[in-house]
Amino acid sequence: MIDFFHNLINNKKVLILGFGKEGFSTYKFLRKYFTEQKLTIADRNPDLLKQNKFLSEDKYLELMLGGSYLEKINDFDVVIKSPGISFKDLKNTISSEKITSQTDIFLQFYHKQIIGVTGTKGKSTTASLLKHILSSFYNDVILIGNIGKPAFEIIENISSGTKIIFELSSHQLEYISKSPHISILLNIFQEHLDHYKMFYDYKLAKFNITKFQDKDDYFIYNADDKNISKLVEKFDFKRNYLRFSLSGKKIIGAFIIDEKIMFSNKKKSEEICETKIKRKLFGEHNLMNILSVIATCKILKIPNDLIIEGILSFKGLQHRLEYVGEFSNIYFYNDSIATIPEATIQAIKTLKMVDTIILGGFDRGINYEKFIEYLSNSKIKNFIFIGDVGKRLLDGLRKKKTVGKKYFSINSFDEIIEIVIENTKPKTICLLSPAAASYDMFKNFEQRGNIFKNIVRNI
């Protein structure tokens, strides 16, 4: 890899675009092996130098900071882009050949060892469950990406036998030239429309997880997702396809028939387990995640008993239908990870006894019409709205003129508990499942969920 980097950056103007978690990791890696290489860091944050004083000691470093940080990126030969940087409103086009990233470079070197996981929802749970099961069979399994460490942080720990599970966002997949050996695409819903010019661009970014595979690679995808199926049909790539589905039909891959989870390849079909096993990952959406993991495990020849044991023992992740506890005779659940309507609907369907729900956050231009219709017909009685999305949902529900529902608009999470205790029916659920991004008021969905849990636990 060092030789590759030498060829990539030698005698070239190199820009590290974005100095968040991944940008810092890129800088640290380059400085370790190329101490006198001239570098430039571009970042929106005008106070970056004050917050990272060590940068002032680097005499081979220049900075482009503030609101105009993207203006001169065409002056560089190599742009190592961080995932969160959007080119949606870039005034001058930049050649995609100049753009690379940690994900792109890492995939070029290690793609044969990588199981890539993406999807609008479920990728963290799926990647974590996969690591949980694979670790019972292999001695060396690493989880990186969206949920774990940046790719460059673990290079020195990789051997030829390492299994690498890479959770990949659309942002990470946007500029790549190689796909993982095994790729999982869970679903595609509207999200991150603030980052892309149109929904189709987001779908194409997700589909890059298979675009650069070849006939010896494996693509595992959700056959029930129309967005994915249309892309598969359109591009008709040559690789090994495995599907997963809840439709009750036999397919090549993982599917369910008569409440039994089945797996079929071109030679035979077999039963893995029943759907009613006492798994801690409940809900239809998690059943889809489990099916994708089973298909992956069968490719890797993991024994069925280890697959079943892993499904039964996996406890799930924080902020994903996380039970906070019973307080004041009310059950509280934290589903802060739900940043789109489809995830919130799944949470409501799974928990069933939701009487109060907290909705809203940062507005990314998602269409909420069907979601508003669903909420108006639901059995939920109390709605607490926050942020710009909260205002949109509140306006939409009021127009429905539904009888028997109460609406509360708040400016801070500190106002939640009094409303919940006064209005929620005993032995029912109060659910935080916002159906919106968090970064209008919070650093991320984790911070939002943690603040909610702290407020609840202090009742």
Which of 270, 295, 313 is the C-terminal boundary of a domain?
A: 313
* Cα–Cα distance, 254 to 270 (Å, whole number): 10
Residue 78: the pLDDT is 96
Residuewise pLDDT in 10s, the chain (459 residues): 788 888 889 899 999 999 999 999 999 999 999 999 999 999 999 999 999 999 999 999 999 999 999 999 999 999 999 998 988 877 777 888 899 999 999 999 999 999 999 999 999 999 999 999 999 999 999 999 877 788 999 998 999 999 999 999 999 999 999 999 999 999 999 887 778 889 999 999 999 999 999 999 999 999 999 999 999 999 989 999 999 999 989 999 999 999 999 999 988 999 999 998 988 888 888 999 999 999 999 999 999 999 999 999 998 888 999 999 999 999 999 999 999 999 999 999 999 999 999 999 999 999 999 999 999 999 999 999 999 999 999 999 999 988 999 999 999 999 999 999 999 999 999 999 999 999 889 999 999 999 999 999 998
Which of 266, 285, 313 is the C-terminal boundary of a domain?
A: 313
Same structural domain for residues 214 and 296? yes
* Cα–Cα distance, 327 to 347 (Å, whole number): 20
Task: Return the SS3 of 174.
Answer: coil
Same structural domain for residues 109 and 88? no
- What token pair was written down for 394? 């509140």
CATH code of the domain containing 62 = 3.40.50.720
Residue 401: the pLDDT is 87
Same structural domain for residues 198 and 275? yes
Distant-in-sequence, close-in-space partners of 352: CB < 8 Å, separation ≥ 6: none
Task: Return the SS3 of 455.
Answer: helix
Residue 1: the pLDDT is 77
Residue 171: the pLDDT is 93
**DSSP tag of 92:** S
Same structural domain for residues 120 and 225? yes
Residue 96: the pLDDT is 84
| Boundaries of domain holding 267 | 103-313
Same structural domain for residues 279 and 326? no
Same structural domain for residues 84 and 134? no
Edge-to-edge strand list for the sheet holding 99-100: 61-65, 39-43, 14-17, 78-81, 99-100
Full-model pTM: 0.87
Same structural domain for residues 86 and 189? no
Same structural domain for residues 18 and 90? yes
Same structural domain for residues 174 and 264? yes
Same structural domain for residues 182 and 307? yes
Given the structure tokens 């060092």, which residue do they identify? 2
Which of 72, 100, 128 is the C-terminal boundary of a domain?
A: 100
- What token pair was written down for 236? 């008709």
CATH code of the domain containing 405 = 3.90.190.20
Residue 132: the pLDDT is 97
Same structural domain for residues 182 and 294? yes
Same structural domain for residues 72 and 205? no
Give me the number of domains the chain comprises.
3
